[in-house]
Amino acid sequence: MPRILFKLGGSLLDQPGLVGRIQEFAALRPGKSVVLLVGGGTAADVVREWDRAQGLGDEIAHDLALEAMGLNEQLLLRL
């Protein structure tokens, strides 16, 4: 089955009715598997603040930002 990759901005996780909107989007693409990549959103913003305050450095900040994206992925899976 052909796939479509859709990047969902992490800031959209705060929007009411998000799951319904994602379902509507997927329904517009019959016969295709929709793959979601969710951004860091507020969780990544926290990492940026920590980096500014604590001087984490690029590598640590990058790793934590990826973990923030993983947290958002887990939220979507549970919704």
In tens, the pLDDT along 12-61 reads 999 999 999 999 999 999 999 999 999 999 999 999 999 999 999 999 99
pLDDT at 71: 95
Angle between helices 41-54 and 58-78 (to 10 degrees): 160
Q: What phi and psi values does residue 61 have, to the nearest 5 degrees?
A: -60, -40
1 pLDDT exceeds 90? Answer: no
pLDDT at 9: 94
Report d(CA 21, CA 40) in Å as an integer: 19
Q: What amino acid is encoded at 21 in this protein?
A: R
- The model's pTM is 0.83
pLDDT at 43: 95
